[in-house]
Chain A
Amino acid sequence: MSDFSDWAKSATDPRQAASMPEALPGLRVLEVCPGHFGGMVAASILSEFGADVIKIEPPGGDPSRKYAPEGISIGGTGLPFLSEARNRKFVTLSLAKGEGRGFFRRLARGADVIVTSEDAARLEEMGLGYESLSAGNPGLIFLALSTYGSFGPNARRRVKDADILCQALSGAPYIVGEPERDGSDPPEPHQAPTRLGNWHASFVEGLWGAFGVLAALHFRAEAGKGQFVDVSGAEGLMKFADYNITWMHTAGKERQRTGNFDPAVFPYTYIRCKDGHTFIAAYNDEAFESLMIIVGRPELTRDPRFSTPASRIRMENERVLLSILEEWSGNLTADEILRAVEDYTSKKSGPGAAVVTGRVNRPLETLAEANWRERGCFARMDDTAYGDLLLAAPPWKMSGTPARIKSVCRPPGADNMEVYCGLLGLSPAELDSMSLRGIL
């Protein structure tokens, strides 16, 4: 490895993060997102940079603790919740009761950021909205996460925000998956708009929320003022849908599903190989020539079907080219293809020479790869309440204020004493009495 690479490792290896300063120390965040995953993501991201996050759950615990694929649950909490509950304090509080709302207002007075997926208008009616809370705390940054956003003609549509709704509205599934074939046969189930298998819309919603909060913090440092940050999860993922809108505007055309093919670049596709599938891309002329030499078909660069980028992206030519590539790849493993590409491209340089590949990993294959392990992408945590858990670590490696994962999760209300007695100055007796009255 190069000197720079060695230096970068020594400066950013996450194993030493715990001894380094944090980017957002002392930033107090209240998370009020019952049943909502995107809000957990937003709060997690801020917490990984050092913010002090208090998650407020309804008495009895957050409904999203019950999300449990295959019924797998640990101490009453499912794996989705555990995957995103890191670095927080957990308190319970009933906002349905006037007294609970009073405690929330007291917590909000000392908060820098509120992250909520509750309906912003309903919160305002309860005196817990941005206008009410910012009156006593003008630096407050109030992040509202929802499907449609807090304003605009559809803002009053009655939905409980969820990944699948945001994905549908984002335009992403519309351009993911197999098109229907022409003909009279009814389409097969997979010939349909296809959801991204993970909760990508929720993730992106949370990330955009964190982005908005950090931009607002920058502004607050200059101007002294907080603000309302409104994020629609649908719009968050929509932003990733390439040239959907400019294509409509300039050509009047709507992007369609093209399965494994691409309307703008080819080859840019998954190909079948001996041990599964691998990605292969070589779409400009130099890269395409490199690839054709690698596959032993250099004459195809002069074939009119493939000789220019524009000819390669004709759908009928994409199909032919895919089958030519698979004739070659069918006898090779993904690793053999990677080696063939590396052997060739290491001898050639220049911006256009890139032939790009990468195995379509199943999750266990990803976990088995040394690169991620050495770079600390995964954290194996041994939690006192929830046992041994494998989590995705913060992805950034940073030389000054690295992000980090400090804890996994706590049961509902586990930090009530610390927060209500420590932060708000209640006595243990008052805390007990609140519990008895169903406020906690």
Chain B
Amino acid sequence: MNGFQAFAEAAFSLPGISAKPEALKGIRVIELATRIFGPVTSDYLGEFGAEVIKVELPLRGDLMRYVAPQGFFWKEVSPAFLSLNRNKLHVAIDVRLPEGKDLFTRLAEKSDVVVENLRAGTMDEWGIGYLQLRARNPRLIYAANSGFGQWGPYSQGRASYDATAQAVSGMSAITGFPGRPPVKAGFWVGDYTGALFSAVAILAALAARRRTGEGQLIDISQAEAMIRTLDWTWPYAGKTGRDRERAGNLDVALPPSGIYRCADGFVAISARDAEEQAGLLKAVGAAASGPAPAGEGDGLSPDRIAGFAAPRTRAEILRASEEAGFSAAPVVGGREQYHDPHLRARGTVWELDDPLYGRIDEYGPVPKLSESPGRMKWTAKPVGYHNEQVFGGLLGLSEEEMESLGRKKVIGKWADVPGARPPRNE
């Protein structure tokens, strides 16, 4: 092991993480959000030590609780809900009732960040929007996540999901194969992308607040986030007046880089510079039975790469890439990731022991920080699970006050349905 590897294995050791400090310790986030865009924004902050209080409506809570792949609930909870809500405190308040608004406002007074993803203006109508909360807590950073923004022609009344952002941004139009319809990504990429942009802006606003002492409003549209990620699409449209076309699995900015079918699946082949193209040409040329076609560049046509890849396994192509000096990587799915020792050694597949559910493996934090690493502490909980801890501990309500609020249905817990309720004793 060389010097760097020794350093890295020590600096990023998984068993060492729990003894290290957390980057965002002391930051409190209140989440009033449903489904993915808002909950994931605060999830990313919670992974790095922010205390996230997830506020749901009593009984049924976040509607994402009922999005279950093939209708499957595990221990009364959907695996799709678990992966969006880690390290959170779950409380249930009916914020539409006056006493509920008051409770929410009291939480926001003690918080650094609010994350919401309701339709633009809803929180303001309810009396708990940015302006009302800022009057009580000028240090508050308020992330308003929406489909089309808090202002502008499309901002009023239009709802948005992940695929709205995929669709209206132009992303789907450039994804898929020529002559085939545009492709909707099979995962909720429009939500996660928006959420990551939102979380980045919250961290930037925290940096600004360290200097100024003041919070601010962040208006982030998930469609606008997707627009920002479409790389050369916009200057190309500006220069040529044309639409960028779907190019299938070929990266037309770096040909013949792309995804190719091989003997046991699919593989990505990449040659991003002259050195790698020479390496790829060498490998393809050595493999070809006949002479290389005449003419510059033909040796690396996508057809030729496809012919090279087709009879070989992913492992053979990876080996060839290392020998010849181009890059390759297998196309993998969840099963291979789940069993991948590399991902487990990095905590990217995180082995979480949850106090309520037991062992539940998840995708872990993405950036690995050597001094103040992220971590998974617990997974999502039933509706209202942490009411006493938050209302009693943080807000100082007495048991009688909580009972009274419960009777008035201002606060509450789970409905007795899969998705909302705790696991059953076996």
Q: Which residues of B contact A240 (CB under 8 A)?
A: 187-189, 192-193
Contacts A4-B129, A8-B151, A195-B251 given; does A396 touch B68 at CB 8 Å: no
CB nearest neighbor in A for B359? A249
Interface presence of A401 (CB below 8 A) = yes
Shortest beta-carbon distance from A316 to chain B in Å: 13
Interface presence of A110 (CB below 8 A) = no
Contact A159 B328 (CB under 8 A): yes
Contact B266 A396 (CB under 8 A): no
Interface presence of B405 (CB below 8 A) = no
Contact A215 B69 (CB under 8 A): no
Q: Which residues of B contact A388 (CB under 8 A)?
A: 238
Interface presence of A31 (CB below 8 A) = no
Contact A216 B23 (CB under 8 A): yes
Q: Which residues of B contact A212 (CB under 8 A)?
A: 366-367, 369
Contact A162 B232 (CB under 8 A): no
Contact A268 B163 (CB under 8 A): yes
Contact B215 A269 (CB under 8 A): no
Which residues 207-235 in A have Cβ within 8 Å of B in the complex? Answer: 207-212, 214-219, 221-223, 225-232, 234-235
Q: Which residues of B contact A360 (CB under 8 A)?
A: 167-168, 172-173, 182
Contact B231 A209 (CB under 8 A): no
Tell which of A121, A151, A211, A401 touches B203, judged by Cβ atoms closer than 8 Å: A211
Contacts A197-B174, A258-B186, A371-B154 given; does A35 touch B273 at CB 8 Å: yes
Contacts A198-B174, A246-B80 given; does A278 touch B74 at CB 8 Å: no
Contacts A151-B346, A168-B268, A171-B337 given; does A309 touch B71 at CB 8 Å: yes
CB nearest neighbor in A for B191? A240
Contact A200 B371 (CB under 8 A): no
Shortest beta-carbon distance from A294 to chain B in Å: 14
Q: Which residues of B contact A283 (CB under 8 A)?
A: 67
The contact string, 1 if C-beta is below 8 Å from chain B, for chain A 226-258, is 111111101110111111111111110111111
CB nearest neighbor in B for A2? B121
Shortest beta-carbon distance from A242 to chain B in Å: 5
Q: Which residues of A contact B182 (CB under 8 A)?
A: 270, 277, 360
CB nearest neighbor in A for B351? A249
Interface presence of A72 (CB below 8 A) = yes
**Which of these binds chain A: B2-10, B100-108, B286-294, B387-395?**
B2-10
Q: Which residues of B contact A129 (CB under 8 A)?
A: 4
Q: Which residues of B contact A310 (CB under 8 A)?
A: 71
Contact A214 B207 (CB under 8 A): yes
Contact A396 B218 (CB under 8 A): yes
Contact B149 A362 (CB under 8 A): no
Interface presence of B307 (CB below 8 A) = no
Shortest beta-carbon distance from A52 to chain B in Å: 14
Shortest beta-carbon distance from A38 to chain B in Å: 11
Q: Which residues of A contact B137 (CB under 8 A)?
A: none
Number of interface residues, chain B, beta carbon within 8 A: 179
Interface presence of B424 (CB below 8 A) = no
Contact A203 B168 (CB under 8 A): no
Interface presence of A60 (CB below 8 A) = no
The contact string, 1 if C-beta is below 8 Å from chain B, for chain A 266-289, is 001110100001110101100000
The contact string, 1 if C-beta is below 8 Å from chain B, for chain A 153-193, is 11111111011111111011111110000000000011011
Which residues 360-406 in B have Cβ within 8 Å of A in the complex? Answer: 360-363, 366-372, 374
Contact B229 A197 (CB under 8 A): no
CA distance A226 to B371 in the complex (A): 8
Q: 9 A-B contacts, Cβ less than 8 Å apart?
A: A7-B131, A159-B321, A168-B332, A211-B200, A235-B363, A279-B161, A313-B71, A363-B233, A392-B228
Contact B183 A177 (CB under 8 A): yes
Q: Which residues of A contact B193 (CB under 8 A)?
A: 200, 203-204, 240
The contact string, 1 if C-beta is below 8 Å from chain B, for chain A 307-336, is 001100100000000000000000000000
Contact A79 B371 (CB under 8 A): no
Interface centre among B21, B243, B362, B370 (most CB of A within 10 A): B370
CA distance A345 to B193 in the complex (A): 27
Interface presence of B263 (CB below 8 A) = no
Tell which of A159, A257, A355 touches B270, judged by Cβ atoms closer than 8 Å: A159
Contact B346 A174 (CB under 8 A): no
Q: A169-B330, A364-B242 are in contact. List 16 more A-B contacts (CB 8 A).
A: A4-B121, A79-B239, A160-B276, A175-B187, A190-B248, A193-B266, A193-B331, A198-B175, A230-B12, A248-B335, A249-B359, A250-B74, A281-B161, A389-B238, A394-B228, A396-B197
Interface presence of B164 (CB below 8 A) = yes
Q: Which residues of B contact A177 (CB under 8 A)?
A: 176, 183, 186
Contact A390 B217 (CB under 8 A): no
Tell which of A168, A192, A214 touches B330, judged by Cβ atoms closer than 8 Å: A168
Contacts A236-B366, A242-B83, A250-B74 given; does A160 touch B273 at CB 8 Å: yes
CA distance A282 to B170 in the complex (A): 22
Contact A176 B186 (CB under 8 A): yes
Interface presence of A420 (CB below 8 A) = no
Shortest beta-carbon distance from B60 to chain A in Å: 9
Shortest beta-carbon distance from A161 to chain B in Å: 8
CB nearest neighbor in B for A366? B170
CB nearest neighbor in B for A151? B8
Contacts A149-B346, A400-B205 given; does A363 touch B170 at CB 8 Å: yes
Interface presence of B247 (CB below 8 A) = yes
Contact B187 A279 (CB under 8 A): no
Interface presence of A101 (CB below 8 A) = no
Interface centre among A49, A152, A236, A370 (most CB of B within 10 A): A152
Contact B334 A358 (CB under 8 A): no
Tell which of A49, A124, A153, A169 touches B204, judged by Cβ atoms closer than 8 Å: A49
Contacts A151-B8, A395-B220, A395-B225 given; does A313 touch B70 at CB 8 Å: yes
Shortest beta-carbon distance from B25 to chain A in Å: 8
Shortest beta-carbon distance from A164 to chain B in Å: 5
Interface presence of B322 (CB below 8 A) = yes
Contacts A214-B203, A364-B237 given; does A400 touch B215 at CB 8 Å: yes
Q: Which residues of B contact A340 (CB under 8 A)?
A: none
Shortest beta-carbon distance from B229 to chain A in Å: 4
Q: Which residues of A contact B196 (CB under 8 A)?
A: 204, 207-208, 211
Interface presence of A374 (CB below 8 A) = yes
Q: Which residues of B contact A131 (CB under 8 A)?
A: 3-4, 7
Contacts A72-B236, A211-B200, A235-B346 given; does A83 touch B172 at CB 8 Å: no
Interface centre among A166, A192, A352 (most CB of B within 10 A): A192
